[in-house]
Structure 1
Amino acid sequence: MNTQSLKFMIKPLVLACAMALPAWGHAASATDAEVEQLRGEVKALKAMMQQYVQQQNTLADGLAEAKLKSEPKAAAPAFKTEGLGLKTKAGAEFSLYGNVRADASYQAEGGSLSRLYNQISTVPLDGNAESSDRLKATLAATRLGLDFKTATQLGDVAGKIEVDFLGANDSLRIRHAYLTFGDWLVGQTWSNFAVPDYMPETIDALGYVGGAVKRTPQVRYTHKFNSATNLVFAAEDSKDDSSNMRLPALTARLNHKFTDSLAVSARAMGTEKKTDADTETAWGVGLGAKLDLTDKTMLKADYYHVKGDSSFVSWTNQGFITNANKDIIETNEFDSITVGITQQFSPQWRGTLGYGYMKADQNDGYINALADKTKANKDLWQAWGNVFYSPIKPISLGLEYVYGEREAFGAAPNGSTTGEDNRINAVAIYNF
């Protein structure tokens, strides 16, 4: 029974008692003292009822409060925390990345150097101290990198430092170290001429014939025409040990994306070759393309034509030859191409088939001026196939077979002019 109902019942009862007292007292000829006594009792009864009602109200309030406390509360807004980037002492934000990489190679025939990566241009000629049946392994391609960014009133200043252990005797070496501001880049990174973007995928860390993995100190400027086209100019130090650099190599690269599935890059290079007594101009052009045949199939191709230089494209002959007076008497000229197709079989599996070829011009003056014709190549070629498996995102396991040959301008004492590169490569990479 609630409090309001109790009040409704008690109040009429008290009033009825109070009204009936005079009549009841008169009918019974009660004395005034008895009447006063009854009135007192009624008054006491009324007070008792009021006290009871107050107790019921207090009890009801307590029950309501207990019910309120027992009901589930609305969830409080989650405490929001913004991701805090790591910062240097000078206040630049930075992130760490890299990989742990283990390479192994079984060499049926190949180069004599202790490293296990591509040596196609110097493999021994058949029957002449061949380097056969060797197992090689290394972790020297393990990589560590830092990306930096500092916000300024004029825009972001960014930078990168990336190193691996492919220096002499597995020593630490700089791969990339540069800063960017707006359209400018200053530092060491991929050459603007010999870019690796259009090389088919390989396990070999240096790639194969027809490609280039050249990194140079440079100053670079990029002009963006629109979202599909940009033009890049650079002044580069090509690090050509055969030349005394007086002026940097000048390179230009035009990148254009025709569609979401087709992109091309046209490149040009010009540089001075200098000795103590003479100078000569070297130059080159390049053309690369990437085509997505389907959403899981990609075709890549890259072509170079170079005259007088051996510093940008890998595995070529010496760019120029000098006489005893340091005069430049002849230059080498060559064409190279690499092409490959990559198929993504599933989210975990992908594979590549590739082919590379390089051919030197038949320049008799250059050939006859060579001190050792067995060390210069008429042509080179390599073909390879690989498969990669990624059981989980940060891990990649790869297996690759490569076979290639070089044909030298001169014959060894046994008459051989051909050397072989015949290997199985394997790799395990943990990316972080």
Structure 2
Amino acid sequence: MKTDHWIARRSGSALALLLAVGAGPALADEADKAQIRELAAKIEALQAQLKMLADKTSSVPAQAAAKPAAEVVTAGELPGSIRIPGTETSLKIGGMVALDIVKDFSGGGMGGAVAQPQSIAFDGSAQSRRDGQLSMSARRSRLNLRTLTPTDFGKVTTYVEGDFIGGSGNELVTNSASFRLRHAYLEVGPWLAGQFWTNFADLATFPETVDFQGGHGMVQAIRQPQLRFSKQWGGHELAVAIENPEADIVGMSVASFNPGVGPVPTTHVDQYPDLTARYAFSGDWGRIAVGALARKLTVDNRGATPIGGFVGEDNVFAGGVMLAGRIKTGGKDSLQFGVEAGHGLGRYITGAPIPAAAVLDNGELKTVKSWGATVGYQHYWSPTWRSNLVVGRVGLDNPHPPIGRTAVSRIDALFLNLFWQPVPRALVGIEYVRGEVRNDATKTGTLSNEGSADRLGATFIYQF
């Protein structure tokens, strides 16, 4: 810059001197004057070029300052998260990889990779004489994303999670499986909107099992769309929600999801959302929770398949209550329990499929009275070894004849396991499961009204 201005100044002085010299008639003739004028024109052109170059050079620092430097990824507000460059959103990626191994020993098994005692065959049946199945699966593996963004309404948290226990695929060659939705919700202040665990269940009081579904007789941990309001103060928590309804009437049709459209049932109508409320109190001693469920069930199969010879419309109100707890018994040991009862609880009791209602011969829609109870005890042998003993029962007062007497009316299940946590985030477990069923039929010489089965399961999990 300074050199360019110095050249320009010196060039101007030379031009003035040459012009002065050219004015003297005694020193140059006309030819010399022409050369001087040509040289002066070249110098003027050179001055213009130098000025243009100086202007361009002076604008470079301003342009460089206007261009922002590349933004560096930094830690986000959520533990273990990063801040997305150019935004105020924190992003955390998580999930787990899991391998489950299950071996059934008797009774024809318990219905696959997840223990379903209600599917146990009754003694004397052909199915009860089948050998037990061995299955190995990694489909429980999960992937989730969590975000946190500050807004004018407060911090907005979102969470999306899925696993691979979806449809399609087989075990012949690739063991492929479809990714399925587990959770998808947002939270802002006391509000939650999206798909999450039903508010009727209190997961903090659930016993621990290797089995994916868990102890029978508890409130079923349904995941479904909902709008929930929660209030916490001290050790208290109160939550109310409206949740997606889905009738579970004997003989009904359940419409599967289709791409781009919602399911339309043909044998029932979901008129109103299921209503749930739950209150919990926690302290150094443990946790106690109570809850209530209210739902309306409507059968309407006009224009569709008859149900037990019935075509028409009827509805009934259903629901129930629950009580659950986790009581500390010393150290990290604890006692867990849960009990629920009602008319038309149906899918809200672990042990599905449990019917919520059935159509009687006279066309009346009648709820199924049901109840469930679970007791579990967790003991820590050391900081890295622990065991759980969980027993549960489900009872059904099935109306006859719409529900046959051969249908399951009582389910018992026992889970005994041992977990080892070799390093943080890793878990290895092995579990013995015993299941028993009973129906209301009369025993015969060849077929009993009871059945039982045993299985051994193991799991290997690493969370990230």
TM, length-normalised to structure 2: 0.70
Q: What SS is found at the alignment partner of 1:121?
A: helix
Question: Structure 1 390/332 Cα, relative in aligned 2: closer, same or farther at 3 Å?
Answer: same
| Alignment match of 2:451 (pick from 402, 419, 432) | 419
The equivalent of 2:429 in structure 1 is 398
How far apart are the structure 2 equivalents of 1:143 and 1:412? 45
Question: Structure 1 89/120 Cα, relative in aligned 2: closer, same or farther at 3 Å?
Answer: farther
| Amino acid in the other structure paired with 2:366 | E
Q: Could you tell me how far 1:89 is from its partner in structure 2?
A: 7.9
CA contact under 8 A between 2:123 and 2:447: conserved in structure 1? Answer: no
CA contact under 8 A between 1:382 and 1:402: conserved in structure 2? Answer: yes
The equivalent of 1:298 in structure 2 is 334
Question: Structure 1 324/416 Cα, relative in aligned 2: closer, same or farther at 3 Å?
Answer: same
CA contact under 8 A between 1:110 and 1:423: conserved in structure 2? Answer: no
CA contact under 8 A between 1:239 and 1:311: conserved in structure 2? Answer: no
| Amino acid in the other structure paired with 2:115 | N
How far apart are the structure 1 equivalents of 2:143 and 2:394? 33
| Alignment match of 2:178 (pick from 171, 179, 183) | 171
Q: Could you tell me how far 1:145 is from its partner in structure 2?
A: 0.9
| Alignment match of 2:205 (pick from 176, 188, 198) | 198
Q: What SS is found at the alignment partner of 1:197?
A: helix
| Alignment match of 1:322 (pick from 335, 354, 359) | 359
CA contact under 8 A between 1:95 and 1:148: conserved in structure 2? Answer: yes
CA contact under 8 A between 2:124 and 2:447: conserved in structure 1? Answer: no
Structure 2, unaligned runs of 5 or more = 1-72, 77-81, 169-176, 250-267, 301-312
| Amino acid in the other structure paired with 2:298 | K
Is 1:185 matched with 2:218?
A: no
Percent identity over the alignment is: 28
CA deviation string 1:157-207 (max 9, x = no partner): 111001111122442211111000110000011101133332211000011
CA contact under 8 A between 1:111 and 1:120: conserved in structure 2? Answer: no
Structure 1, unaligned runs of 5 or more = 1-80
How far apart are the structure 1 equivalents of 2:345 and 2:85? 41
How far apart are the structure 2 equivalents of 1:205 and 1:193? 20
Matches for 1:335-374 after TM superposition, within 5 Å: 335-361=371-397, 366-370=399-403, 372-374=404-406
| Alignment match of 1:279 (pick from 298, 315, 333) | 315
Q: Could you tell me how far 1:354 is from its partner in structure 2?
A: 1.0
CA contact under 8 A between 1:367 and 1:409: conserved in structure 2? Answer: no
The equivalent of 1:22 in structure 2 is none
The equivalent of 1:256 in structure 2 is 281
Q: Could you tell me how far 1:106 is from its partner in structure 2?
A: 0.9
Q: Could you tell me how far 1:93 is from its partner in structure 2?
A: 1.5
Question: Structure 1 167/324 Cα, relative in aligned 2: closer, same or farther at 3 Å?
Answer: farther
Question: Structure 1 328/143 Cα, relative in aligned 2: closer, same or farther at 3 Å?
Answer: farther
CA contact under 8 A between 1:382 and 1:404: conserved in structure 2? Answer: yes
The equivalent of 1:310 in structure 2 is 346
Question: Structure 1 332/198 Cα, relative in aligned 2: closer, same or farther at 3 Å?
Answer: same
How far apart are the structure 1 equivalents of 2:385 and 2:376? 17
Q: What SS is found at the alignment partner of 1:369?
A: coil
| Amino acid in the other structure paired with 1:249 | D
Question: Structure 1 150/417 Cα, relative in aligned 2: closer, same or farther at 3 Å?
Answer: same
How far apart are the structure 2 equivalents of 1:222 and 1:88? 32
The equivalent of 1:92 in structure 2 is 89
How far apart are the structure 2 equivalents of 1:287 and 1:165? 32
Cα root mean square deviation, aligned: 2.2
Q: Could you tell me how far 1:342 is from its partner in structure 2?
A: 0.6
The equivalent of 1:213 in structure 2 is 221
The equivalent of 1:31 in structure 2 is none
Larger radius of gyration: 1
The equivalent of 2:269 in structure 1 is 244
Matches for 1:61-140 after TM superposition, within 5 Å: 83=75, 85-87=82-84, 91-109=88-106, 115-128=112-125, 129-130=127-128, 131-140=130-139
CA deviation string 1:266-313 (max 9, x = no partner): 000000001110110011100011111112211110111021231211
CA deviation string 1:11-41 (max 9, x = no partner): xxxxxxxxxxxxxxxxxxxxxxxxxxxxxxx
How far apart are the structure 2 equivalents of 1:213 and 1:167? 18
CA contact under 8 A between 1:110 and 1:119: conserved in structure 2? Answer: no
Q: Could you tell me how far 1:214 is from its partner in structure 2?
A: 1.1
Alignment length (residue pairs): 344
Question: Structure 1 111/155 Cα, relative in aligned 2: closer, same or farther at 3 Å?
Answer: farther
CA contact under 8 A between 1:88 and 1:94: conserved in structure 2? Answer: no
How far apart are the structure 2 equivalents of 1:118 and 1:136? 12
How far apart are the structure 1 equivalents of 2:442 and 2:167? 31
CA deviation string 1:346-383 (max 9, x = no partner): 1211111111011223x6xx13332x332x22211111
| Amino acid in the other structure paired with 2:180 | R
How far apart are the structure 2 equivalents of 1:197 and 1:111? 34
Q: What SS is found at the alignment partner of 2:459?
A: strand
CA contact under 8 A between 1:105 and 1:136: conserved in structure 2? Answer: yes
